[in-house]
Structure 1
Amino acid sequence: MDTVIDKKPDAPLSETDAANLIEELATKARIAQKKLASMSDAEKADALRAAAASLRDHASEILAANAKDIEAGEQRGLSGAMLDRLKLDEDRLEGIAAAVENVASLPDPVGQRMDEMERPNGLHLSRVRVPVGVIGIIYESRPNVTADAATLCVRSGNAAILRGGSEAVHSNRAINKAISEGLAKKGVPEGAVQLIPTQDRGAVGALLKAAGQIDMIVPRGGKSLVARVQNEARVPVLAHLDGINHTYVHASADKDMAEAIALNAKLRRTGVCGAMETLLIDAAYPEPASLVKTLLDADCEIRGDAKVQKLDDRVVPATDEDWDTEYLDSIASVAIVDDIDAALDHVAAHSSGHTDAIVASDPAALERYLNEVDSAIVMANSSSQFADGGEFGLGAEIGIATGRLHARGPVALEGLTTYKWQVRGSGQTRP
């Protein structure tokens, strides 16, 4: 008798079928995770290098699958930024394979002793990193997340159940197939990395309700996806919210630095979560018109407050909604603020807690911004586009966590572990 997994991909699922599907995947994942947890550091690293080689071997198939997704996305009217997130070429695919190899070269966090102590009664306590277990990862648009998520989970001893967005369905399936083949050659069980074989939304609902089967959910996508996950989940969630990121140009900022950083933060890649969405300019900054002109001349639409509108005729009025919008496009909201206090107030009111930056030469202003802005990543004199696990030296990342529990900022290997206490005694009993 066929299992739910064996049904035709994308066939509609009843609520019962969806629940059964997730149970089947989770059961396979739990068995595989036990095997993964017993593999050595060298064995896991070797398996990931085989996965990277398999990605390269299957490059033509992956790019052909991606071309189908791009064509379908164009027909659906996806924005340029969304298509950029979706698109793969030879260089990007090589980057994905290289990222897998990079994670293979990183230290294995599993088994690391976070701290240890000796109690007066002679008990020796150690706090040791261990895998989370079975992790469900729900994501949109970017097919590279299929590889990143699989790689990070395997390296940290976790089994992964992946559910990518429908816009990247062909790419995700091709990448998952290649990675799974490479891992299998080195003894990693099939259930260690599984892509949910249907785009039926009921499968997502079943995944979110699978308490006791799934240990953690990681959503990576837009506000509506994260909101659904947080509202429906009966499983712990490691949240990645939208990137409403600010760059504040202080009165002391160097003109050339401010313009270069603003240009890069907004336009290097508009579709990444670290892109600047709002530019705040100190009222005492001497060259605001030049800063705004730099962005406008680079074909960035500026939605400004009344003061910014006076700087250039091309600026359009900002609405209240603009200060809370993640554009993921060549659009920026721009405001002139009275001073650093006003900048801090604006960031506190409108930031999503992802990444916020300051450009300044005044050391006191830099330190105050770094200390007082309550975001997962706070930057001084650098582009917010550096908000990336690879740029932080963490290898691939599964997302930028904007919450305050478990992990915060780029979630890489350590963020996919938890810990347990090991207590070693010599016959002690408690009085």
Structure 2
Amino acid sequence: MSEAFEHYEQLLRAYIGEKADTILKAPAHYLKHPFVDPGSIYDGNLWDWDSFWAVYALLNMAEDENRDRYIAHAKGNIFNFLDYQLEDGYIPMMIEKSKLPEPYLIGKRKEGHIMNMHKPFLCQQVAIISGACGDYSWIEPHLEQLERYFDCYDRFYYHENSRLYVWADDVMIGMDNDPATFGRPRFSTANIYLNSFMVSDMKAFSSIAAHLGRPELQSRFEEKAAELSKAIQEECWDQRDKFYYSVDVDIKTRAYDWFHTGLGVFWKTLPIKIRVWSGFIPLWAGIADDRQAALLAELHAADKNTFNSPSGMATLAQDEKMFDCRATNNPSNWLGPVWIVANYVVFRGLMNYGYVKQAEELCIKTVTLLGRDLEKTGVLHEYYIPETGEPVMNGGFLNWNLLVLNMIDEMRGKSPISSFLGIHFP
């Protein structure tokens, strides 16, 4: 590595080492257990996939003096979410600071509103915690709750015809303004993000069951993950564009009187042909075959007109009409800005399939991006302009920015935390 890389690495390790404990929070308001928040403007709130990536990074950093503390807060995330699981299996996406009598999302669900639930990172977080501490027994009393979480997805969010999962609406979908879902009708989008991470969450639960001596659960969720992967291949992989897309499932023959009574709609979905970084997540989840991985790596991840920017992965292809990097919160902006979590997931996906040189280039870009920001502003930010690397907003944000250290360590041969997820690759 270059001298500049080593300089930025030293800056980042020192800054992250100093700041990491600031996202470890003591029990407060609705939260009875210690937890991890993203920092910055999100102080005091527990989020689903945000907490997963923070823990993923912290466990990579864990040394003897801080390991127990990190694991206690990571387990606390899980216990806090399970504390608010409803009878139908619903778990909220967020548990926030509030003066309401109960978390906002729980109150809305009790009123009868069917909205999105905890994104598919619950079992992935359990699996990495358990693998890191070498103990799965802590979650065994809660296995039935984890099953009910999946059952809730199957009952309310599973689209039978396509065999894919759909978002209920466009609220708190992780990538807030992903055009494949944002502004579209309720229950109409089988998002590639949702379905790909659902595969890895199912694989994680299968691995947990195996470690706890529950072969029937292990087998059941291996099969569910395989069936969902097959549906993703059939419905989301585009043979012409060689890319994974989210798909529209609101597909049926609109017949009336004697019109449209002949050959009706026989296709299950229509591709929503917007190139979003989430089309690479099948490389994370082990869904892509070798040929598809080669196309994603060499055709799309390497394309400087679409995803490959000087700062890393543009979250929306740079030639899409919606590409826009202005500052916005609620929704946060995923219409092109570089987010470090996207850089990491694509990095890990490339590594999973042997594209080490491309992964190394992405690591160097990420270290340079964050190192320059830290050197110039003294903090890290939530997201960045792809072309220039200029920070957009929310100085002091930590959370998945910590994944830069995972990238460095994995480039040097350290086993990734994802190895605890039970995912296998071609």
Same fold by TM-score greater than 0.5: no
Q: Give the TM-score normalised by structure 2.
A: 0.25
Structure having the larger proportion of residues in strand: 1
Q: Give the TM-score normalised by structure 1.
A: 0.25
Structure (1 or 2) with the larger CA radius of gyration: 1
